[in-house]
Chains A and B, each alone.
Chain A
Amino acid sequence: MVKIFIDDKELEVSNGLTILRAAEGAGIPIPHFCYHPAFAPEGSCRMCLVEISGLPKLELACSTVVREGMKILTASEKVIEARKAVLEFLLAEHPLDCPICDKAGECKLQDYFEEYGFFASRFKEAKEKREKKVQISKNLILDRERCILCTRCLRFLSEITKTQDVGVLNRGIHSEIAVYESNFIDNHYAGNLAELCPVGAITDTDFRFKTRAWFLVKKESICPMCSRGCNIFIDSHPGFARTPLAQRVYRIRARENQDINSFWICDFGRYHYSYIDQGRQERIVLKKEAKDTELSWEKALIILAEKVKSLVYLKKKSRIGVILNTWLTNEELYLADKVFKKGLGLENIYVVDPPSEKGDDFLLTEERTPNRRGLKEVGLPDLTPDLGKLALQTDLLLIFGTFLVGRFSVTELKSAFDKIGTKFLFAAHKSALDSLVDVVIPTPLIAEKGGSLTNVNGKVQSFSPALDNSLGLPEWKLLIDLAKELKINHKPFWQLSSPQAILEEMGRGIPFFK
C-alpha cells in the first residue's frame, strides 16, 4: 500500500496501480479515450494528462504508476488547458456529423467537449477527407473521418479475441485503422467493437439509424441465449403516446461482470433480440371445436385445477404429464418441483430444451438455454419425453415453452397429441403447438420477469424485469396460484409474492441457493 494525494484527498492505494485506476476507485473522474480497464494502457489519446508535483511536465494518468507520497492534481489550470488542447486537436480532424452519428448522446468526445466549454476551433484549414463507409465485418461499418485512433479496437482484437485482424496503417495524418489481408473481421465477438469505440467511428449495422441513443431506456438483465449467463443491458424504446412502435428492444449491450463475462458478450447474444417482440402470445385462449374463446386466468385456473383434481380423485395421477424447459428461472423450477413432483406426486415430468449447438472457448456455451444447472440443483430429473409412450400414458399434459416444435415434427406431435385428452400450453410465442392444444396461456420472457438463473458454473444471478410485461402472468405466479387452488403445501407458501421471497424460501430448503 502507498499513500498518495489526489486533489488534496489523501488516499491509501495498493502498489502498482496506475493513477487513473486509483482516482477512479476514489470517485475522481479523469477523462480518457484510449484507456480501457480490460487492456494494457496505450497512452495514445493524451486526454488523461495530470499534474504531478515536482515533475516539470504533465504525465499520463493511465500509464503512470503511483509512488509513495505522490501529489496529483487532476483539475489544475495547466491540466484543463492541456485537455482543451487535446480536444481541439482531435476536433480539428473530426467531422461534426453528430446528427447522423449513432454514437451521439453517448459519445465521449461530445461529453468532454461539453465539459470543457464548447470552445470554437482556431484551425482555418479544411478538414481532411477520408472514407466514410468501410465495411469491416458482417455487421460493422468504419468511418475513418470520425476515428480518433485510440486503437481500442486493435487492442480488443489482439488481446481478447487474439485474431489480430486490424492494424494502424500509414503514418502521421495519413494513419488509419484498416483490416489486414482478410477483408473482414470474422469472429463472433466483433459486435463488441461498436460498443468499445469511444466515438462513432465503428457503428453497428444492426442498430445503425434505427433510433437515437437518448430515446432508449437502459435496463439491466441477463442474457438467456446460452448457459453462460452474461450480464447485459437491454436498451428499449418506450414509444410515443400516439405512435406506438412495433419494436421495443433496439439493442443489447454488455454489462461489466468480472466473474462471468468481463466487459464482453458474443454476437449470438447481442443480435438475437427480435424474439422478444415478434410472434408473441397475447391472450389466454380456450380452443374448442375450432372456436377460440378468450378466458381470464381465474377461469383458466379453475378449468386446470378441476382437471387435475378429477384425475387425482380417480387415482389416475400417473396419467398427468408435465413438460418443463430450462428457460424457466430457478424459482419457477423450484415451484414446479414443489407443486408437480412433491405436491401432486407426479412421475411424468420431462424437460424439453432447444437443441445444443457448437459453442466456443470464450463465452458461448453449447447449451442454448440459460438455466440447465438450476434444474439440476433444484433436483428435477432431466428426462426427454418419448412421444409415443407419452401419448399412451397421459390424459392431461401441461406444456411449458414451445421447444417441442424444434425436437419433433408437427405430424409426430399431432398424432401423439390427438391421443391425449387435455393439453395446456404455457408459452411466450406463437407456434405450431397452438392448434394442437386446448388452452394456450401466454407467459412473459426472461427480459420481462424477475427471478434468478444459475449459470453453467453454478453462479446464481438474480435479475429484475427489464421490459414492461402486459401479456401474461409470470410462470411463478401461475404455479403459486395453482398450488393455492389445489391446496398443495401450506398457507405461507401460497402467499409468496415475489421471486425474491421464493429464492429466500429456496435457500432454506436447498443449501445451494443460500
Chain B
Amino acid sequence: MIKALEYFVEIIKGSLITCRHFIVNMVFHTLKVLGIKTKRKGAVTIQYPEEKKEIASRHRSLHRLMRREDGKPRCVSCMLCVTVCPSECIAVEATEDPDPEIQKIPAKFNIDMSRCCFCGFCVEACPEDAIRMDTAKIEIAEYARKDLIYGLDKLLG
C-alpha cells in the first residue's frame, strides 16, 4: 500500500520538474519578447528549416571531391576509400589520363548515400586529400533511392 503511494509521490515530483522548466523558460521567453532581459534565452526549440543551428567545424557532412588547380579531379582512383568503406557504398572505376604524371583518374565515382554511415573513413584513407566531408550539407533526401547514388558530377559540385 505504502509502496503504491510512493509511485504517486514520484509522479508528482516529476510533474513539478516539468512545470518548473516550463515556467522558467516561459518567463525568460516572455521577458525577451518584451525586450527586458535579452541576453538569457529561454530553452526554446529551434524553428528548423527557417532557423539553422551552426554546425561544428569537425562535423562530417556530405562528401565532396576536390579538384586540382587545372580543374581535374584530384582523385587518382586508388580505391583505398572503396577498400576501407565499412558500408561498401563507394564504387570507383578508373581510366587512363593522357598526362603521364597523373596516369589514373576516376571515370566513375559513385557514393550511395542511402548506405553511407558517415564514418569518415574514406576521408582518413585518402592519400591525395581528394575527398572531404566538410560541405556542411546535412539534408540529403530524395524521392527515389537511385537519386541517392551521387556521381562525379554531384560530388565535384
Contacts and interface: CB of A to CB of B under 8 A. Distances in A.
Interface residues of A, number: 18
B78 A99 contact: yes
Contacts of A100: 76-78, 103-104
Interface in A182-239: 208-212, 214-215
Contact of A241 (B88, B103, B127): B88
Contacts of B128: 99
Taking each of A131, A133, A210, A214, which has the highest tally of chain B beta carbons within 10 Å of its own beta carbon? A133
A132 B99 CA distance: 10
A133 B88 contact: no
A98 B104 CA distance: 12
A500 B146 CA distance: 47
B127 A99 contact: yes
A119 interface: no
B122 to A, nearest CB: 14
A212 B100 CA distance: 20
Query: Which range contains the number of B residues in contact with the other chain?
Result: 20 to 34
A396 to B, nearest CB: 48
A323 to B, nearest CB: 41
A242 interface: yes
A428 to B, nearest CB: 27
Nearest to A211: B79
Interface string B85-100: 0001101001110001
A34 B144 CA distance: 56
A409 interface: no
B115 interface: yes
Nearest to A210: B94
Nearest to B88: A240
Nearest to B110: A243
Contact of B91 (A208, A209, A210, A243): A243
B83 interface: yes
Contact of B83 (A131, A133, A214, A242): A214
A133 B77 CA distance: 18
Contact of A209 (B80, B89, B104): B104
B76 A99 contact: yes
18 contacts: A98-B78, A100-B77, A100-B103, A100-B104, A132-B100, A133-B100, A133-B103, A209-B77, A209-B95, A209-B104, A212-B78, A212-B79, A214-B83, A240-B91, A242-B88, A242-B89, A242-B115, A243-B112
